[in-house]
Amino acid sequence: MSSLTNEENTIILESIRNIPDFPKPGIMFKDISTLLGNPKAHNILMTHLENRYKSYNLDYIAGIDARGFIFGAVLADRLGIGFVPVRKKGKLPYTTVAEKYSLEYGFDEVEIHIDAFGDNGLNTEGNPSQVLLIDDLIATGGTAKAAASLIDKVGAHCVEACFILELGFLNGKEGIKAPVYSVLEID
């Protein structure tokens, strides 16, 4: 399994822009649009993820709405497997399964199509589809926990949850039943 060199780590981290006080005072927003616009940093990241996951025998990548779509779709293409969007409630046109999660003030929901990972979540061999969950950032972890639960709820198996950036001081990965891998961690 490959790991990033210190230089590669620095290139990726420095390509992520910090925006203070967004979306509210006291929050340092990590803007990945600058990473996406940096071909060198983006290629280093995607090559690293491709090398990490090529031996996992995955059937699908599930990307969390909306930035997880970007990394998930590119990685699924590189691995030659399917991509499934985990959407916010009301965005998918077919029969869905939903999972609620807590926000600071209230609740939200994510959903997937009931057949997103094959009939009853089974792959062509009749086994639970092996799914990697991916998103750009994990903070408090509510959305990721709900998304991982959805994967299992439809009969597939969440092999791992992957994040480009983890805000470790928020302990967001606690409670995710699948193993968690973060490319970069900020404490």
User: What pLDDT does residue 105 have?
Assistant: 72
* 56-186 CATH: 3.40.50.2020
What residue spans define the domains of the chain?
56-186
Contact 169, 187 (CB under 8 A): yes
- Cα three-residue angle 135-140-143, rounded to 5 degrees: 50
pLDDT tens digits along 109-165? 999 999 999 999 999 999 999 999 999 999 999 999 999 999 999 999 999 999 999
The encoded tokens of residue 132 equal: 């990697």
Q: Mind telling me the catalytic residues?
A: 67, 104
Binned at pLDDT 50, 70 and 90, residue 104 comes out as low
Distances (CA, A) of 94 to 97, 116, 141, 168, 183: 10, 10, 27, 36, 33
- Cα three-residue angle 175-136-179, rounded to 5 degrees: 35
Residues counted in the chain: 187
pLDDT tens digits along 22-63? 988 998 999 999 999 999 999 999 999 999 999 999 999 999
What is the C-alpha separation between 74 and 71, in angstroms, rounded? 5
Q: What's the mean pLDDT in 70-75? A: 98
